[in-house]
Amino acid sequence: MARFGWAYVDCDNASDGASYGPTGSIQFLTGAGNTTGSTRFMYYTASGGGSEHVYNAHTVVLTGTFVVDGIISASHYHIDDVTTIDSTGSTTFGNTNDDMHIRTGSLVITGAAGFAEDGYILSASISDKRVSVRAFSGKYRRITSATYTVAKDNYIIGCSGSINQTLFLPTASAVGAGALLVVKDEYHPRSSTWVRLQGHQGTAPTSNLIDGQTNFLLTGAMPAVNLYSDGSNWFIF
């Protein structure tokens, strides 16, 4: 005796009278060896559907609840009206550097139920267009060499060499408006050497200046300086 869980039958009624349902319905057992189908569980061999939806050919459509006790693997997911995504373990989005993940609306990250701290860890609000974090850490780089070209993803630079040290800033247009940079002289005692920030290695610059100057010298006992970019030049604040 043949056994199956479901089958597609392209007929209104099977010739033996054992299978029923609308054309295109996926069959399921109803007992006593009989199967039937429903408009709520359809397979479209060609474009079709009702007045509200038109589905492409080779599309399975379920109207109702679908429960999977296992793994779903798909090339693409398109999900409407998501209210809850509950998953144990870790989740990974994307697999190449050019992937882009866009979220519309506000975003809040909190701890799990019973998290000891109150409130959010990170919040991005669409209403006031502000991002709030509980604590923040920026990328840190310690420099001991005489020269260093600051990378676009550097944030805190600690100059720890006893020699004269020159930092060449990244191009303001490359990092974009609003980029921040913190530089700190970490060497003590620094008596006869210096730390210098320089926007250009060439001559006669017209952009990438530091408060309108080609360079800035850190002076005093273990000084620090904060900078921001307007997309064309750097400014100290």
Query: Which pLDDT score, from 0 to 100, does residue 14 have?
Result: 47
- pLDDT per position as a tens digit, 68-77: 998 888 888 7
Residue at 95 is within a domain: no
Look up the pTM and report it.
0.68
Residue at 187 is within a domain: yes
Quick one: tokens of 149? 């070209």
Specify whether 131 is located in the same domain as 169.
Answer: no
Specify whether 37 is located in the same domain as 106.
Answer: no
Specify whether 69 is located in the same domain as 9.
Answer: yes
Is residue 227 scored above 90 in pLDDT? Answer: yes
Specify whether 227 is located in the same domain as 146.
Answer: yes
Query: Which pLDDT score, from 0 to 100, does residue 178 have?
Result: 97
Query: Which pLDDT score, from 0 to 100, does residue 208 have?
Result: 92
Beta carbons within 10 angstroms of residue 143's beta carbon: 20
Chain-centroid distance, C-alpha 78: 17
Strands (DSSP E) along the chain, which ranges?
6-8, 26-31, 34-36, 41-44, 59-62, 107-109, 122-125, 130-133, 140-143, 147-149, 156-159, 165-168, 180-185, 195-198, 215-218, 224-229, 234-236
Using DSSP bridges, classify how beta strands 224-229 and 234-236 pair: parallel, antiparallel or unpaired. antiparallel
Query: Which pLDDT score, from 0 to 100, does residue 77 have?
Result: 79
Contact 167, 148 (CB under 8 A): yes
Mean pLDDT, range 187-194, rounded to an integer = 91
Specify whether 121 is located in the same domain as 150.
Answer: no
Residue at 97 is within a domain: no
**Structural domain tally of the chain?**
3
CA distance 41 to 27: 8
CA distance 224 to 205: 25
Residue at 165 is within a domain: yes
Using DSSP bridges, classify how beta strands 147-149 and 165-168 pair: parallel, antiparallel or unpaired. parallel
Rg (CA), the chain: 32
Specify whether 132 is located in the same domain as 144.
Answer: no
Residue at 8 is within a domain: yes
pLDDT band of residue 47 (cuts 50, 70, 90) is confident
- Helices (H), strands (E): how many in the chain? 1, 17
Mean pLDDT, range 192-215, rounded to an integer = 85
Specify whether 61 is located in the same domain as 11.
Answer: yes
Specify whether 230 is located in the same domain as 195.
Answer: yes
Specify whether 9 is located in the same domain as 64.
Answer: yes
Is residue 9 scored above 60 in pLDDT? Answer: no
DSSP conformational letter for 128: T
Residue at 30 is within a domain: yes
- pLDDT per position as a tens digit, 53-99: 888 999 999 999 999 998 888 888 787 777 777 667 788 888 899 99
Is residue 228 scored above 90 in pLDDT? Answer: yes
Specify whether 43 is located in the same domain as 76.
Answer: yes
Residue at 222 is within a domain: yes
Query: Which pLDDT score, from 0 to 100, does residue 112 have?
Result: 74
Q: Helix, strand, coil % (nearest 5) of the chain?
A: 0, 35, 65
Find the DSSP H helices in the chain. 172-175
Mean pLDDT, range 215-231, rounded to an integer = 95
Question: 130 is in which domain, residue-wise?
Answer: 102-136
Mean pLDDT, range 205-234, rounded to an integer = 93
pLDDT band of residue 34 (cuts 50, 70, 90) is confident
Residues 6+ apart with CB under 8 A from 196: 164, 165, 166, 167, 215, 216, 217, 218
- pLDDT per position as a tens digit, 101-140: 998 899 988 877 656 566 788 899 999 999 999 888 999 9
Which residue in this structure is represented by tokens 């975003």?
Answer: 107
Residue at 96 is within a domain: no
